[in-house]
Amino acid sequence: MDEQCAVCVEAPERDWAGNWKSFVGFWGLPAVIMVGAWILAEPMPRALLWSLMLVWMGAACIANARRCSRTHCRFTGPFFLLMAVLVAAYGAGMLPLGTYGWIGLSGVALFGNAILWWGSERLWGRFTR
């Protein structure tokens, strides 16, 4: 185990995803805001909120991966940033996903995150170089 990985194993408070307070702030609150944005009738405000929250979560993942080498953050960070681009494109009418586009984007974001989180840490462990 390298020195950087040992930091999180020996001092798990460096891992934002492993601490419930930082987890709520970096990923829980943005997720709640995204769910709350469903009440917005117009697609552009929803797309704006979702894009901002996805960028927030993606940036937090990338920072956490750099901070303590959390495995899933290496994958979920770029994934959230890609989802932000897709959401913005759909909200602007540039991505023709049809009537159920928001449901599709929600499903991809939710299940994609879950698969990346669970799968990457099962394959490579919680912390990697």
Q: Is the confidence at residue 9, as pLDDT, over 70?
A: no
- Quick one: pLDDT at residue 11? 45
Closest by Cα among 60, 84, 80 to 70: 60
Phi first, then psi: what are they for 77, rounded to 5°?
-60, -60
Query: How does pLDDT run across 41-73, given as a tens digit for each residue?
Result: 788 999 999 999 999 999 999 999 998 889 999
Q: Is the confidence at residue 80, as pLDDT, over 60?
A: yes
**Biggest distance spanned by C-alpha atoms of the chain:** 50
Q: Exposed, middle or buried, 29 (CB in 10 Å: 0-12/13-18/19+)?
A: middle
Residue 69 · residue 129 · CB < 8 Å: yes
**How many Cα atoms sit within 13 Å of 107 on the Cβ side?**
5
